[in-house]
A = this chain, B = another copy of it.
Amino acid sequence: MKGLPSVERAIAVFSRFPGIGKKSAGRMIYHILRYGEQDIEQLLQTLQALRDRVTSCKICHNLAEGDICWVCEDNRRDSSLLCVLEEPSDLMAFEKAGFFKGTYHVLGGRLNPLDDVGPEQLNFASLEQRLLKGGIKELVIATNPTVEGEATAHFVAQMASSSGCKVTRLAYGLPMGGELEYLDESTLYQALNGRREF
């Protein structure tokens, strides 16, 4: 099979997105081509806006348009409660849920020696400075429940241990709406281990 180089290339680029296979990528590209120049212009403008406007918050490393993100700008947020996360998308999950009233610190990834991600590659220095500055009563570690996320959580906990603030982390256990029957062993183990009085 032979196709157009520019179309094949576009499909290859789009199929590198997470969760997008070659078929979905093809559908997207043909969708763009079907509606033509207007669609392409809109996509180009959207991506240029991402490139030109989106920066990193100088305080918490969340995505921002400008120096400070909308969370750090909001003085109704409780700055004594600090939640440490891996990525801005994790922060958005919290913000969508809407119940967390503290502030955040986005590490920008997780420790992963195999991929050459050490403490220097993540936003630990600015976290240490925020801890040293004082005023933080509780540090909630909300890294992902993976091996690397765990390692990162331990690193954060150790760093915070000398600061005198309370260090907590998100509970492990049964996901709401899940069924015990289909649960993996390690989650079940964590759920049993973390059982609470009824």
Q: Does A166 contact B (CB under 8 A)?
A: no
Q: Does A101 contact B (CB under 8 A)?
A: no
CB contact between A47 and one of B2, B17, B19, B44 (< 8 Å): that residue? B44
Q: Is the interface of A mostly helix, strand, loop or mixed?
A: helix
**Interchain CA distance A183-B29 in the complex, whole Å:** 30
**A44 shortest CB reach to chain B, Å:** 6
CB contact between A3 and one of B13, B14, B44, B92 (< 8 Å): that residue? B92
Pairwise interchain contact B98-A30, C-beta atoms closer than 8 A: no
Pairwise interchain contact B6-A17, C-beta atoms closer than 8 A: no
Instruction: Kindly supply a per-residue 1/0 record for chain A positions 63-90, scoring 1 wherever the CB is within 8 Å of any chain B CB and 0 otherwise.
Output: 1110000100000000000000001110
**Interchain CA distance A49-B44 in the complex, whole Å:** 11
